[in-house]
Amino acid sequence: MRYEGPIYRPPSEADSLLVQATVGCPHNKCTFCMVYKQGPKFRVRPVQEVVEDIHAAKDVYGSRVRTMFLPAGNSIAVPTEDLVHICRTARQVFPLLERITVYGSARYILDKGESGLARLAEAGLSRVHMGLESGSDEVLRRIKKGATRDEQIRAGQFLSRAGIETSAYVMLGIGGRELTREHAEETAWAVNAISPEFLRVRTFLPKINTPLLRQIEKNEFQIVSAHQALLELRTIIDQCVCRTRLTSDHYTNYIQAEGVLPEDRERLLAQVDKALSLDESAFRPVYVGSQ
């Protein structure tokens, strides 16, 4: 089996077989993201190589493979028929496979179209990990996410109609102090419009080699405090009326809030309020991340 570039996968795919379908990220412009800023350049791996790696994995892991993730940054961008072939092959080689997942940004999900996504669902693609980050158009523009709120919403709705689960990622603090309120309220609004199966929370932490770190150094972006990040989380929990599983499965978060909305709302709000009653010094300091 082969792998090129940084290994990057969602924490929820920690036990999944990783078979690389793409190298790098075709967008690679998000100002907060360091993963592929130093390369490698984006390319789609030849489908035959991916199929060879699936068979090679069978020799090593056999029937133990129950979940599979296809790195790298936006493997939903693989041409539809190639991705269909990869998913079908994986399902044949690993008959006990329960889940196949990829990362996918809104633009590349929309490029697939509803019919392309339906073909992928039928071939066995189960879930797309989608970086929503924010529901605010202004925040999305500033962080160069490459999609508007409406495009993000449409992408999530396309996935839902195709029968593919959406694992949506939101980033607390990514609007900075200036846009903290707008970011939280409009993110809750977008999440309600998408109604993702999973809502995964991260908290912005500056990373080396990123444009956003350079903006911070020039005082063009002010990092939110722990309390401000928690207030954003509180707003999102309070205003999300759709059914979704909230997860804080990331080291950047100030608290680990886990539950199903809406039924766990009161418990989750009480957890956030308890954290808000603590002094700021009780939380991790801001530091520059290197991974």
Which residues in 128-147 contact ligand SF4 (CB under 6 A)? Answer: 131
Stretch that binds ligand SF4, among 23-31, 58-66, 232-240, 262-270 (CB under 6 A): 23-31
CB of 19 to ligand SF4, least distance (A): 18
**Residue 71 in contact with ligand SF4, rule: CB under 6 A:** no
Closest distance between ligand SF4 and the C-beta of residue 132, in Å? Answer: 11
Interaction between residue 104 and ligand SF4 (CB under 6 A): no
Tell me how many degrees the CA angle 168-174-180 measures, rounded to the nearest 5.
110
Answer for which of 73, 156, 175, 196 binds ligand SF4 (CB under 6 A) is 73
Q: Quick one: which of 17, 23, 33, 230 contacts ligand SF4 (CB under 6 A)?
A: 33
At closest approach, how far in Å is the CB of 42 from ligand SF4?
9
Would you count residue 47 as binding ligand SF4 (CB under 6 A)? Answer: no
Q: What is the pattern of x (binds ligand SF4, CB under 6 A) and - over residues 105-124?
A: x-------------------
Interacting stretch for ligand SF4, rule CB under 6 A, among 9-17, 27-35, 191-199, 241-249? 27-35
According to the binding rule CB under 6 A, does residue 30 interact with ligand SF4? yes
Q: How far is the CB of 107 from ligand SF4 (least distance, A)?
A: 9
- If binding is defined by CB under 6 A, does position 206 make contact with ligand SF4? no
The CA R_g of the chain, rounded to the nearest whole Å, is 19
Residue 271 near ligand SF4 by CB under 6 A: no
Binding residues (CB under 6 A) for ligand SF4: these are 25, 27-30, 33, 35, 73-74, 105, 131
